[in-house]
Amino acid sequence: MTLADIATVDALWEMSALRRAPAPTPVERRAGLVLLRELAGGEPVSVEEFARSLDASVGIAEDLVKASRLTRSILTSEAGRIYGFMGLSVSETPHRMIVDGRALWTWCAYDTLFLPALLDRTAQVETHDPATGQDIYLTVSPRRVEAVDPAAAVASIVRPEAWDVASAACVIASACHHMFFHVSRATGERWRLEHPETILLSLEEAFEFGQRSNAHRFGFRSGFDRLMDHQTSCQSDRSPPISIIRT
């Protein structure tokens, strides 16, 4: 990326509604990454399963799901099982990621750019251009967009200041329904003219914007294991382990 590209991303992040939202606490950050890892198994996650993964009580897991800074990013079924979190879904959408041989989905195309870093896995992404219907394929690692076909593909995102981040349903309605990849800037411009709330970014710019989001929400730009190591090394200066906290 050029310095101009970085300046563009910095300016977008500064005005972002997500930047103004309260960041998770260290305990919530760890729990959020655990939840993403569980959903990456490809099945909905019960509160009991979440609690076991955290080595915490069911009551603590329930509080994290229903009454924490993670709550606004969680989708649950009527039965109370978690099927979506922070852009990752085990229910089918138009945007598919193959991670460790498993099919996962995302709320919008943009989500496929920041989730690999949080999962610490490389993803094979399959989506489509909403204007032409043409398929678009990416390989996204935790550190970069490794490959894209067609090579001229770009991303559209809703202007970040317009995202409603009050809940997962709100962010899906206000942003995700309009955020796609396009086979070329020309088809992206057609989409933008029909949806003036959107802007076009290169895939590299959109990827870098996602890393700003990861840093804000999780405090570390690398994947799951490195963030967990970082938190463990700092634990004496932070909150007690999840197993003895009730939020």
Q: Kindly list the catalytic residues.
A: 108, 111, 176
Nearest alpha carbon to residue 146 among 167, 121, 165, 182: 121
Length of the chain, please?
Answer: 247
Report d(CA 61, CA 245) in Å as an integer: 10
Taken in order 179, 171, 112, 100, the sign of the CA dihedral is negative
141-to-127, 132, 242 alpha-carbon distances in Å:
17, 27, 29
**3-class secondary structure, 54:** helix
Contact 133, 183 (CB under 8 A): no
Nearest alpha carbon to residue 209 among 106, 110, 67: 110
Phi, psi values for residue 127, rounded to 5°? -150, -165
Report d(CA 72, CA 176) in Å as an integer: 15
Report d(CA 34, CA 224) in Å as an integer: 8
Report d(CA 239, CA 219) in Å as an integer: 15
33-to-87, 130, 140 alpha-carbon distances in Å:
13, 31, 18
